[in-house]
Amino acid sequence: MYYNEFMTITAGIMGATGFTGIELIDILSRHSEFELTVAGSNSAVGEPVVSQNPYVFNLNKNLKYADLSLENFAGLDLVFAALPHSTSAHIVPDLIEKYGVRHVVDLSADFRLKDSGLYESYYGFDHPRKDWLQKAVFGIPELYRDNMKGAQLIAAAGCYVTAVSLAAHPFLNAKVVTDTIIADCASGVTGAGKKLAPATQFTTVNENYSIYGLINHRHRPEIEQVCENKVLFTPHLLPIDRGILATCYFKVIQGVSADKLQSILSDCYKDESFVKVLNSPPDLKSICKTNFAGIFVTLDDATDTAIVVSAIDNLLKGASGQAVQCANAVFGLDESMGLN
């Protein structure tokens, strides 16, 4: 193992009262090797962590929320940064360089993109630590685990890029995709985070189905970076709390059959614990509250178009669950620890 197996791995969460932070608390309470020692949140400083997580077993009853001062996280083995976009870029390098944190898994988009210019175009800020963009390992274990062991910084993938990339990767790798990938995706409301906004309030979302971020959604360059292919990405908002369903379309080379596509998909993920290759399209109820991705593929012979459907829980495989899966890989642990 990468770490001393007789020592507990100390862990902290920055942003422990957000949706992803709450999921991280639950997962870490079940993890046999990671010990949650610092839960940082500016909105609940001094409150017992158990007061906002009363149904989480094995939670230290004496643990209280700390503020987000970097000093509170000094010397930890592992920090999960579940902070808003453009915040992590300013503080994560300091956690490592100045405060002795050994490893950081960042759940924001701040270290996902290798082209620093895209941050100004899509996120509206000039990235302050461009040097760390090349050091960060992108956080989809099924695609990048070989680079994760011992990595100082993991840029955990977003929920949309996870759903689309896991669906498209086997076919891109097999070189059967001939053109742009069309990714039609729908997400539950938790994908927007906890901050109140008119577009995500109950009266707006209930019994509604809407499109947003048309053409230039900020996660499009992230998806294209992973796929190394043009992607036409269209997100929709579902009137549900969690889950993402992604339907991807692409033209295939002549002579590729539905059976061949199924074989490509099955061979790619045959050894993966958290990717399930299905014989029928997945639905969200069957996948939510798990760290699994369910993927199905078929072929429309009339148009030589492959249709790949993937479903994930945006808060688990699309955020906190995947972040812990990445952290397990960093320390050379079984990736399923805390996630069963």
The residues annotated as belonging to the active site are 159
Q: Which residue has the tokens 């053409």?
A: 215
* CA 98/CA 86 separation, integer angstroms: 20
The alpha-helical segments, DSSP class H, found in the chain are 19-29, 49-52, 88-97, 117-122, 141-144, 159-173, 202-205, 220-227, 258-269, 284-287, 320-330
Phi and psi of 204, rounded to 5°? -85, -45
Write a three-state SS string for 233-285.
EEEEECCCCCCEEEEEEEEECCCCCHHHHHHHHHHHHCCCCCEEECCCCCCHH
The single-letter code of the amino acid at 211 is I
Contact 183, 224 (CB under 8 A): no
DSSP 274-326: TEEE-SS---HHHHTTSS-EEEEEEEETTTTEEEEEEEE-TTTTTTHHHHHHH
Contacts of 16 (CB under 8 A, 6+ apart): 22, 24, 25, 39, 40, 41, 49, 65, 82
* CA 339/CA 226 separation, integer angstroms: 25
